[in-house]
Amino acid sequence: MLVAAAVCPQTPLIVTGLPELRAACRTAVAALRAARPDVLVVVGGAETTRSYDGAAAGTLRPWGFDVTVGEGAPVLPLSLTVGRRLLNDPEPPSGPPPATGAEGVPAQVLARDAGGVPAQAVAFAAAPAECRAIGAGLAALGRVALLVMADGSACLTPRAPGRYDEAAQPYDDLIAEAVGTADAAALAALDPVEADRLWVTGRAALQVLAGAAEGTPLTGTLLMRSSPYGVGYFAAVWS
């Protein structure tokens, strides 16, 4: 059963820049840990679908950041590497104090270190039904929390990585509304063809979340939304 979820951007810039968005992601991660899940899983898009155990390593060196998670040869895709890094973010959250557990212990220390957190990659091109099935399988593991790494459209402005498209903003609005209200049905209905055209790399991961949350009464909060480089970034919590 899915007991909590967080949606954060997969951009490597979240590691060293974008301080307000990074702080919102820390708040989202704290909420996941405050839910005291039996299992915490990082979910993100990749070229192929596969699972990784908690010992798998990843690096951001190809993107110009001397940041590595785990030990051994780096095998994690970008999205899962950034997610694992967020789980071990050394800086305290800004704003109000983090949520605490029943014994008053800060939520950040209620979960095991991110080095033991398994990860699930889902192919960018995976069909919606396949994504939802992966999510349902994760939700069946027990009391599960998901850290979902997902960007919106990369076609929001003329200087965006993708070619500017006036349809990108409405599509991003739809995603923001869905992650902000825990609307699993809306995420499940995302059109993969349109998502591909608008460079929505987070579509498959969001539909894994939809599959995990199906039939679960969660509420959502959109902590922050931004698009500083013409790419849609979201930080949201479902609980």
Each residue's pLDDT tens digit, 188-199: 999 999 999 999
Q: What is the dihedral of CA 178, 180, 183, 184, to 10 degrees?
A: 80
Q: Beta 220-226 vs 58-59: how paired, if at all?
A: unpaired
Q: Is 53 in contact with 42 (CB distance < 8 Å)?
A: no
Report the phi/psi class of residue 104: left, alpha or beta, with left for phi > 0 and alpha for psi in -120 to 50. Answer: left
| Coil vs helix vs strand at 72 | coil
Local structure of 205: helix, strand or coil:
helix
With DSSP H G I counted as helix, E B as strand and the rest as coil, what are the percentages for the chain, rounded to 5?
A: 35, 20, 45
State residue 15's pLDDT score. 83
Res 44 pLDDT > 90 = yes
Residue 137 CB neighbours (<10 A): 14
* 123 φ/ψ angles, rounded to the nearest 5 degrees: -60, 135
- DSSP state letter for 201: T
Q: What amino acid occupies position 150? A: A
> Each residue of 154-180: pLDDT tens digit?
999 999 999 999 999 999 999 999 999
* Highest CATH level, class, for 2-97+108-238: alpha beta
54-111 residue pLDDT tens: 999 999 999 998 999 988 999 999 999 999 999 987 554 344 433 333 223 222 222 3
**Average per-residue pLDDT for the chain:** 89
